[in-house]
Structure 1
Amino acid sequence: MKYRVIGSSPETRREVSVLSLGTMTFGTIVDEATSFAILDRFAEAGGTFIDTSNNYAFWVNGTQGGESEELVGRWLKSRGVGDEFTIATKLGARPNQPTTGFSLDVEGLSAKVIRESSERSRERLGIEKIHLLYAHIMDENTPLEETVQGFADVVADGVAGLLGASNHWSWRIERARTLAAAAGVPGYEVLQHHHSYLRQRTDIPSLRSPDGNQGLVSGDLLSYLRANPELTQVSYSPLISGAYVRDDKPLGPGFEHAGTEPRLKAVREVAAETGATVNQVVLSWLMGGDIPVLPLVGASSVAQLEENLGAVELELTPEQRAKLDSVN
């Protein structure tokens, strides 16, 4: 395994594995025995960065979420491990009522929610401190000043360490960080958005925004990251739910543009040259770019995890990387 330091403060920064394990479906779609086996193999391979959320996975059984956090907590307790792992969770998108579908009626990012939801997450996880706490989605109904102070308060209380923002426009991230700096309190240091080698259209309205999908890494966000190298980008769904290699997993309308086929061709050619899988090439491309990204990978079996782990040692040559990067 390889490692990277995230965070800039000596008090909160963490050394994490360059591959993060997503546990969204653990405890629901993926049963406990399989989930534990995947977590055990990840730990055995040197993985230390585990990601969950307080709303995972409400849509499976019609709940408000919490199943994933609870399972991760049981695993941590049963294995007798703790602070050597960096546990990241999120709040803000937990539905206020049990549901099996998308809902705009979610908890949001008020100071009260941040305080109460972070405490409940900590209890479910069974840990003294949430090492990395994200604002899962934007809350445009709560003043940003309140959200910034709410997160700063849970850091001051020892509930959370590093702070992050997921699925946010870059201008809102910058505004929140500016407010935090002006107030002399901790701000967002880790970002989490969807990012892969294939480029997804950003002009298609999302369920939460008529202006496009704020959850995607775009040119604007890449420029922001390049100008602020102290920030860390974690990228979820880097393998697009298996769509690179599975015919039963269509890419969807977001990838219906002229750039998709040439990029698929390029990544397949590089995979053939290296003897690696397409998925491994995608993960290696993300980890080794000029803006290094920490891929957040899910797995429903140990075999899937093994493939992902193989990407850590895959070193693309400058020529191979140039080939991938040169495709528009």
Structure 2
Amino acid sequence: MRYRKVGNKDVSVIALGAMLMGSVTDESTSFAILDRFVEAGGTFIDTSNNYAFWVDGGTGGQSEELLGRWRRSRGVGDEIVISTKVGARPVAPGLSYVDDAEGLSAKVIREQAEISRERLGVERIDLYYSHIEDRSVELEETVQAFGELVQDGVVGMLGVSNHPIWRVERARQIAGGLGLAGYEVLQYQHSYLRPRFDVPESIFRDGSLGHAGAELLSYLRLDPAMTLVAYSPLMGGVYTRADKKIPYDYEHPGTAKRLAVLKEIAEETGATANQVVLAWQLGHELAIVPLVGASSVAQLDETLGALDVELTEDQRARLDAVN
């Protein structure tokens, strides 16, 4: 395993997503995946307070609870960095973040931080994300609530996911003006395929909320201290499974061209297409941490194999040259 600085922590260059652990992925399989990740040197695990509400029509919490049980059973301490999120939990069973999300009021942020700490069995949340934006609450209230959690030692550092970049920058400016901690980590969808940006907002509301497009990547270039945690880097199997359809928001002429080059590089390196995508992200000029889920130890092992894939300058140039 390799490591990099994310905020104030040194973490593994690959993060493990625990979204479906404790629900779709049963406990014994989840524990085996987590054990293998740690055995391989993995130290960065991601979850949320609303995972996975859509499985049973509830309000979430299964993933955090499973991670808490795993931590206690294995005697895991501060050596493993766990991030979680607030803001997108349904307020009542049967709803979703689209219908009625909990939002980002100071009251919700404080209360949910305590609930997440209890579920995870931690004294402090290493990295706490604002999951989706909430324009019904003044941004100053949200920023101050998050900043005070850091000030009080309840949270180590702050992140933001699925927000427009202008809102991220405004929040950081407010935090700076108040002398409080601001967002240091961005979590957005990012992969080798490039999305369209001419689709209705409703498509993104029902699918991916936040693509890491040119604007976000430019923003990262201006502040090298910030990190992009890239969720869905493998796009649910699109790169390797014939039964997986290209998402609507990725249907454009450039997609077929990029897939063709990706296939060529995979054949040249003897790696899988998934491994090439991850190696491409790991060697990016920007600080990108792929956030990868796994439903089996074998699937995780394929992911870990990306650490051994070395792309040449020519291969990387060919991957990047396709529009």
Do these two structures clear the TM 0.5 threshold for a shared fold by scoring above it? yes
The residue that corresponds to 2:237 in the other structure is: 242
Which residue does 2:265 correspond to in 1?
Answer: 270
Query: CA RMSD for the aligned pairs?
Result: 1.4
Within 2, Cα distance between the matches of 1:88 and 1:325?
A: 30
Alignment of 1:51-70 (within 5 A): 51-70=46-65
Residue 315 (structure 1) aligned with residue 310 (structure 2): yes
Structure 1: give runs of 5+ residues left out of the alignment: 8-12
Q: Give the aligned partner of residue 86 of structure 1.
A: 81
**CA drift at 1:103:** 3.1
1:180-221 per-position Cα deviation (integer Å, ceiling 9, x unaligned): 1111100000000000000111221234878x9650001000
Conserved in 2, the CA contact under 8 Å of 1:50 and 1:85? yes
**How many angstroms apart in 1 are the aligned matches of 2:214 and 2:73?**
43
Any conservation in 2 of the 1:60–1:100 contact (CA below 8 Å)? Answer: no
Partner of 1:189, secondary structure, is: strand
Contact 1:61–1:100 at 8 Å: present in 2 too?
Answer: no
Q: Which residue of 1 aligns with 2:39?
A: 44
Q: Structure 1 length as normaliser, TM-score? A: 0.96
Residue in structure 1 matching 2:14, options 19, 22, 32 = 19
What is the rounded CA distance, in whole Å, between the counterparts of 1:207 and 1:188 in structure 2?
26
CA distance in 1, matches of 2:302, 2:240: 13
Structure-2 residue corresponding to 1:2: 2
* Corresponding residue of 2:67: 72
Please point out which of 156, 159, 168 is paired with 2:163. Answer: 168
Bigger share in helix: 2
Per-residue CA deviation, residues 284-318 of structure 1 (Å, 9 max, x unaligned), is 10111111310000000001000000112211110
Asked if the contact 1:206–1:213 (Cα under 8 Å) also holds between the matched residues in 2, the reply is no
- Matched-pair contact (CA < 8 Å) for 1:107–1:113: yes
Percent of matched pairs sharing the same residue? 60
Matched, 1:95 2:93: no
SS in 1 for 2:307: coil
How many angstroms apart in 2 are the aligned matches of 1:155 and 1:203?
38
SS in 2 for 1:185: coil
Distance 2:257 2:110 in 1: 47
Letter in 2 for 1:83: D
Q: Distance in 2 between matches of 1:307 and 1:267?
A: 17
Q: Which runs of 4+ in 1 moved over 6 A?
A: none
In 2 relative to 1, CA 148–21 (structure 1 residues): closer, same or farther, beyond 3 Å?
A: same
How far off its partner does 1:101 sit? 5.2
Matching of residues 127-142 of structure 1 within 5 Å: 127-142=122-137
Number of positions where the alignment pairs a residue of Structure 1 with one of Structure 2? 322
Is 1:155 matched up with 2:112?
no
User: Which residues of structure 2 form unaligned runs of 5+?
Assistant: none
TM-score, normalised with respect to structure 2: 0.97
Aligned to 1:71, the other structure's residue is in SS state helix
- 1:32 CA drift (Å): 0.2
Q: Is the 8 A contact 1:203 1:213 kept in 2?
A: no
